[in-house]
Amino acid sequence: MNPVHLLVVTAVEAERDAVAQGLGPTAAVGCGDLPGREMLRIVRATTTPAARTTRTAARRPSPVPRQPLSIDLVAGGVGPAAAAAAADAALTVAAVQGNPYHLVISAGIAAGFAPIADIGSVVVADRVIAADLGCETLDGFLSADSLGFGVSEHLCAPHLSAVAARVLGAVHAPVLTVSTVTGTAERAQDLRKRHGAAAEATEGFGVAAAAAVHGVPLLELRTIANTVGPRDRASWRVPDALAALKDAFAVLNNFFARGAPPPYT
């Protein structure tokens, strides 16, 4: 049985390490395949039933067969450009080596749009939107695709994202990618009205663009540390959001290992 090969791209090492802890107890090891970035790899083999005596066979259940997983983790940097560069480099190396990824996951903490995604909640994107890619006009914002300049959103794998959201008890809604984080109530209201999104982050669209070029399905998973709007650092719950990220990937680890083989749609 060939391993499912997954790539997880975060912005910073704290997020990457939370993901790795959730995927434990197998320790992540350094992988030197990715130039310019430190990549960690977690390999989980198929469960092989241990030899059992007649005395123990009746009372010890057989281990549940598990899909082998090979999961690469990279902290690509903050912002869509850094995330796209890191994701594309990893995708290219894997393809050249003849071991392409089955799925790319953009993951990390984010700000949530209340009341859709409150602090502490989990969001799985149904699509990723570049919310500030376009132009401002006297009549409002025009997206890049409405101007005829490429695309401003990418769909996540529809079936997989819906199932993952259900398994995680997560909100399933758009996640915005911005280069300038929202800091006013007015902009938060405008974005909420325009997109009906659950969360705002800074990397997903970059990862999505790289995945689209390589034809690899995408997920984006975010845990909510604060609310989109005026910056009130006293209300931020970053450690709690990182703990929620760890817990979410512990659930996804079993989800992929026990019954979610590729191809992912």
Question: What would the DSSP string read from start to end of 173-217?
Answer: EEEEE-SS---SHHHHHHHHHHH--SEEESSHHHHHHHHHHHT--
The separation between the first and the last C-alpha atoms of the chain, rounded to the nearest angstrom, is 20
Please tell me the predicted confidence (pLDDT) of residue 75. Answer: 96
**Reported pTM:** 0.90
Please tell me the predicted confidence (pLDDT) of residue 1. Answer: 65
Q: How many residues does the chain have?
A: 265
Q: Quick one: how many helices (H) and strands (E) in the chain?
A: 7, 12
What residues contact 23, with CB distance under 8 A and at least 6 apart?
A: 42, 44, 71, 249, 250, 253
Distances (CA, A) of 161 to 75, 126, 186, 218: 22, 6, 30, 9
Please tell me the predicted confidence (pLDDT) of residue 114. Answer: 94
Q: What is the pLDDT of residues 41-98, one digit of tens each?
A: 998 876 544 444 445 445 555 555 678 899 999 999 999 999 999 999 999 999 999 9
Question: Are the C-beta atoms of residues 116 and 176 closer than 8 Å to each other?
Answer: no
- The secondary element (H helix, E strand) that includes residue 255 is helix 238-259
Distance CA 19, CA 214 (A): 24
Distance CA 132, CA 152 (A): 9
- The secondary element (H helix, E strand) that includes residue 111 is strand 103-112
Please tell me the predicted confidence (pLDDT) of residue 53. Answer: 46
Please tell me the predicted confidence (pLDDT) of residue 141. Answer: 87
Distance CA 158, CA 185 (A): 31
- The secondary element (H helix, E strand) that includes residue 237 is none
ω into 68 cis (within 30 of 0): no
Question: Are the C-beta atoms of residues 105 and 219 closer than 8 Å to each other?
Answer: yes
Please tell me the predicted confidence (pLDDT) of residue 29. Answer: 74
Distance CA 148, CA 137 (A): 16
CATH no., domain 4-49+62-259: 3.40.50.1580
Q: What is the CA radius of gyration of the chain?
A: 19
**pLDDT tens across the length of the chain (265 residues):** 678 999 999 999 999 999 999 998 776 677 766 777 788 999 887 654 444 444 544 555 555 567 889 999 999 999 999 999 999 999 999 999 999 999 999 999 999 999 999 999 999 999 999 999 989 899 888 888 888 888 999 999 999 999 999 999 999 999 999 999 999 999 999 999 999 999 999 999 999 999 999 999 999 999 999 999 999 999 999 999 999 999 999 999 999 988 777 889 8
Please tell me the predicted confidence (pLDDT) of residue 260. Answer: 72
Quickly tell me which residue has 């030899």 as its tokens. Answer: 51
Distance CA 249, CA 260 (A): 14
What residues contact 57, with CB distance under 8 A and at least 6 apart?
A: none
